[in-house]
């Protein structure tokens, strides 16, 4: 979507199982959506706060995998971040958390209440 690299749920599950520290996983859904559960290990940053966090993320070198409910908002976040920083890889989770759940490839856990930005 939008020329942004994408990954599917099975690929993400494999990375999380084999080398979870090799990526930076970010959930950009709303706090209400996040309260239904997040992919384990994800940072929770609602889409409207991504521009504010972009500066904090500049020192990060790992590829960032971003997801939302269906993959549309996360693709927007990837495009925004890639336009600001062309040196880092931003990857959209195709189909979002809905596809993750439907494929049954991994768990969804409640976020820590303080984790939702």
Q: Exactly one of 34, 38, 68, 93 is catalytic; name it.
A: 68
Distances (CA, A) of 95 to 68, 70, 71, 72, 115: 8, 5, 5, 8, 23
Let me know if 68 is a catalytic residue. yes
Report how far residue 8's alpha carbon sits from residue 63's, in angstroms, rounded to the nearest whole number. Answer: 15
Among all residues, which ones are annotated catalytic? 68
């Amino acid at each position: 979507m939008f020329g942004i690299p994408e990954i599917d749920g099975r690929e993400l599950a494999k990375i999380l199982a084999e080398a979870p520290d090799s990526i930076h996983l970010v959930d950009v859904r709303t706090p209400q959506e996040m309260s239904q559960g997040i992919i384990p290990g994800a940072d929770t940053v609602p889409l409207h706060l991504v521009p504010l966090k972009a500066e904090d993320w500049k020192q990060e070198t790992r590829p960032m995998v971003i997801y939302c409910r269906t993959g549309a908002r996360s693709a927007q976040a990837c495009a925004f971040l890639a336009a600001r920083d062309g040196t880092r890889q931003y990857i959209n989770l195709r189909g979002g958390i809905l596809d993750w759940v439907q494929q049954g490839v991994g768990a969804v856990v409640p976020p820590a209440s303080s984790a939702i930005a």
